[in-house]
Every structure is written in structure tokens, then in C-alpha cells.
Structure 1
């Protein structure tokens, strides 16, 4: 019965619409921003006094996270120049990123290299060219759900790090109610070519099996999902699609699947009602390798 369901990422325009509403409705970016300017600042070994830093953003989107990271790196190394590889497959997202760079003053220390590519395409290209450049800082924010082989992707980008280089992976925590919804109802869906229902535990188990040391942090946030509970609400349906990663979830999900998901979304353990609005809790893991 669930075989009729399609992954949201199979319609990229719908995915981008959901992601846009997520950014509007979620406090996750505020939590990430605080992490960048607090925890990353404590990692003063990044760059280790170098006059030039190589940085890669994998799945950079519109660049709002990238520019926060660049700002922090500039504070840590005010005299250093930066070469920023932007890896993003969406033309629309890249154009928004470029527009953001154009209107942001004080970025003359950064040289941007725009790669309209998926993570796997960069891997193939660099291997073919036998690139030997080492990297000081790599960040992958909410990317691993959408790569073909998460283990291979992590391994490749880890291999690029120089001696003091850091790789930061942002992914939903095992403690996130979002993951609880996936685990309860969605992990059996055959989306593996387009979407992996991964969480922080999967990444940690992989790193542990390879003896890789890492630090892990958990960030709390909330998302306003009130409209999800109004039948036929257009924005609510977009939010539901993004939360479940299922295209047209409310229209195509079997009744028992939809009922179960909706019950979890309003469960008191997973969210809070504030002034008549339903706020869904979220926990994001930051894993620093």
C-alpha cells in the first residue's frame, strides 16, 4: 500500500518550497548560528595560524549558514584569505547564495568557487583529476539524507582534511521527535535511492566502527506546524510533506499511516501548544570530526 508514496526529493521544486517554509517556521537556524559563534570559536586549532584557509560547504543551499561560518573563521583568522568551494546542485539556491554574497559587505577576503553539483559529482571529479588539495574546514548541513552512499561520502570528505582540519556534520539527533516519526512509520518506505532516514546514531556508529574520534553536540529548536492540522490547508500540506519527506503525503498516504503520523505530531512528548499554536520540538546533532 505504501509503495504508492513518493519521496519529496523526487520533485525538487516541492522540496525547496518545503525547505523555505521550514526556515520560516523553525528556530533551528538560530540554534545553529549560536553553535557556530560559540562552539566553533572554541575550536581555535582550525587553520592553526595559516594565512590561507580552504573551506568546502557541501549542500550549501542559499548560503546563510556558510556566511555565518566564514564570519566566524574571519574573526579567528582576521588576516587570512579563504577559498570557499560551494557545492550545491540547485540553480535556484546557488543564485540566492550569489545574491546574498553580492549584498553582504566585507567578503573581499573570500574567493568563491561555485560548483553546481551533487556531493558525489564533486567526489568523482576530484578523484578523476587526482586533486591533492587539503582542506581546513568542511561542513555538511542536513545533506546525508540525500546522497547515494552516506558512508562513502563521509569517508571521501574526511580524506580531504589536513592535519588540523575539521569536518562538521549536521544531522537530526536520535532524540529528535522528527526521527521518532520516521522510525515509527516511514523507515520502511523504499526511498533509499532518493532519501535515507538517517540520524546521529547512524553516523556515530559508522565513525565508531572506523575508530574515528569526534565530538557531538545537541541543539534544541522548535517548528510551528499549526496548519498541518487544518485539512486542506496549502501551507500545512507543504509542511507535512517536508516533515515526512513524502510528496503529497496528506493526499497519498493510507489513512492508518496518516492518522499515526498526525497523532505523533501532536503528542505532548513531542511538542507544545503556545498561544494556540502547535510547536513541534526538534533536536539537531552537530558532529565534529
Structure 2
């Protein structure tokens, strides 16, 4: 068996992603931001408009999207809201639709799903010459899968109404991922569709473009203790997710595997508490103004 990208096996990717979510506080830190900080951010996007047009890029299975929509609904109770979703994975769209069907508090919100990438959406909009303006756009943990990040941000920024905003959530430059990718990225870069990018890179793009933005650190961690038990299934799936490599434990050269596993225990990557290792999974939320 040879090393190959985790993205080449959709079922393995979904399985490892679910283990990651179970072991991390990623969704919890996002939800805290959405509940405590987002209301102030979106307080200026409406300005009496109805409907409010929201675009989710890489909406996944919709759990975070629906929490964002509930905050917009609470801020603008009288406005109709249209939520448009761009998501290339059909299985994720089906899960999203199931979540919508089971979720209360979404009255007066309509949904449209597009099974396509952000680049396909951009091409379709440009060819149709019907680029409607948007009140709120969010990109949650998806810019790793975009080939031209500056062009993507520039295009979607051009769709903003006056007072509208873009929310980007991406891994922090202070996270354990930053150190892992810097040291091992060249040995793990297995798929051109997955870029090892972090918040400072996005901020650099915004600075060069002269766009106004504000950044928020969202502390998060992931319990990776199982990674250090040989043959532990959850540990193997977490290593797959950390390295973006399908069956990393079985296909990586022994020296590479040993190096990474040893490094993951170090303080610059993880904190040890109560005999368990917690990997630094800190995110950054970046809010871009129109």
C-alpha cells in the first residue's frame, strides 16, 4: 500500500472527520462565537432589507449553518431569509436537508442547495450575468480546498451589499496544525486540492487588497490520546485526519510515522492534562466588511 490523499476516499474522510468532531471542541468554540459575538457582527447587514440573502460556501451537513441562521432570524425576526448553499458533496447535502427537516425555529427561511464547488458557482454566476447581491456570506473551514484563494475572496467580496459581511473560519497560526504543516507539509502534500493555509495567510491577502476586517481567536483542542495506542481505530482515523493521508498508520514510512507521533506529544503541539494529550486546534474567525 502506498500513501494517498485522504480526500481520495470519501467514506474514509467522512469517518475520520466524524471522529475528529467527537474528539475536538471545534464545533463548541464555533457555537460560542456564533452565540456571543455574531449578533453584534450581523447587526448592520439588514438595514430594513427583506429578503436577506445568505450564502454558505462549503456548508457541509449544515449543523453550523443552521445556528448562524437562527442568529440572523433572531436579529431580523420580520425579514424573509433565503439561504443558498454551495457544497460539492452530495452525501453532505442530503444530511443538511435532513437537519433542516428536523430543526425548529427556521420559519420564513427558504433554502437552495447547489452540488458544486465555489469555483463552479463563480463560473456559473459569471456566465449567467445574474450575480445577485448578498447580505452575509460565510466560509467555514473550506478555503483549504480552493485553488486560488485571493481570487475566490475577491469574487465573493464583490457580491456584498453595502453593510454586508463575509465570515471566514480557518485554523489559527498559533495552532498545532501550523507547526505540523510547516514541518511535515512537503512530505504529506498528496493532493493539490488541499492547501495547507492558515489565518495569517488570509489576513495577508486582505491587507494587500485593502479590505477592512477584524480577527477573533477561537481556542479549541482535540483529544489525540488514542493516536498513541498502536492499532486503536479512532487513533488511526485521527492520524488520517491530522495528516490528510488515507490509512496513514499502515502506509506511511515507519520513520515518518514515528517522527509525527513523537512530535504530537510535545508542548508546541499538544497539552497534557489528566494523563491525556490535547492537540491545539485553535481557530481564527475573520470578518470582512463590504
Pick which of 134-143 and 118-127 moved more: 118-127
Does 2:8 match 1:10?
A: yes
> Would you say the 8 A contact 1:85–1:114 is kept in 2?
yes
User: What do the CA deviations read for 1:183-206 (whole angstroms, capped 9, x no partner)?
Assistant: 111245444522100001111111
Match of 2:267 in 1: 268
Change (3 A) 1:189 1:26: closer
Does 2:178 match 1:179?
A: yes
- Give the whole-Å Cα distance in 2 for the aligned partners of 1:132 and 1:89: 20
> Would you say the 8 A contact 2:188–2:243 is kept in 1?
no
Pick which of 106-115 and 260-269 moved more: 260-269
Change (3 A) 1:187 1:158: farther
Match of 1:78 in 2: 77
Cα offset, 1:64, TM superposition: 0.6
Can you give the 5+ residue segments of structure 2 that lack an aligned partner in the other structure? none
Match of 1:19 in 2: 17
- Give the whole-Å Cα distance in 1 for the aligned partners of 2:186 and 2:46: 39
Match of 1:222 in 2: 221
Give the TM-score normalised by the residue count of structure 1.
Answer: 0.94
Match of 2:238 in 1: 239
Match of 2:27 in 1: 29
Match of 1:253 in 2: 252
State the secondary structure of the residue aligned to 1:279.
strand
Give the aligned CA root-mean-square deviation in angstroms.
Answer: 1.5
- Give the whole-Å Cα distance in 1 for the aligned partners of 2:149 and 2:3: 23
> Would you say the 8 A contact 1:87–1:114 is kept in 2?
yes
User: What do the CA deviations read for 1:153-199 (whole angstroms, capped 9, x no partner)?
Assistant: 21211111111111111110110011211111124544452210000
Match of 2:144 in 1: 145
Pick which of 165-174 and 248-257 moved more: 248-257
Match of 1:206 in 2: 205
Match of 2:104 in 1: 105
- Give the whole-Å Cα distance in 2 for the aligned partners of 1:131 and 1:25: 43
Pick which of 203-212 and 274-283 moved more: 274-283
Does 2:95 match 1:96?
A: yes
- Give the whole-Å Cα distance in 1 for the aligned partners of 2:151 and 2:252: 32
- Give the whole-Å Cα distance in 2 for the aligned partners of 1:204 and 1:191: 26
> Would you say the 8 A contact 2:54–2:83 is kept in 1?
yes
Pick which of 252-261 and 69-78 moved more: 252-261
Can you give the 5+ residue segments of structure 1 that lack an aligned partner in the other structure? none
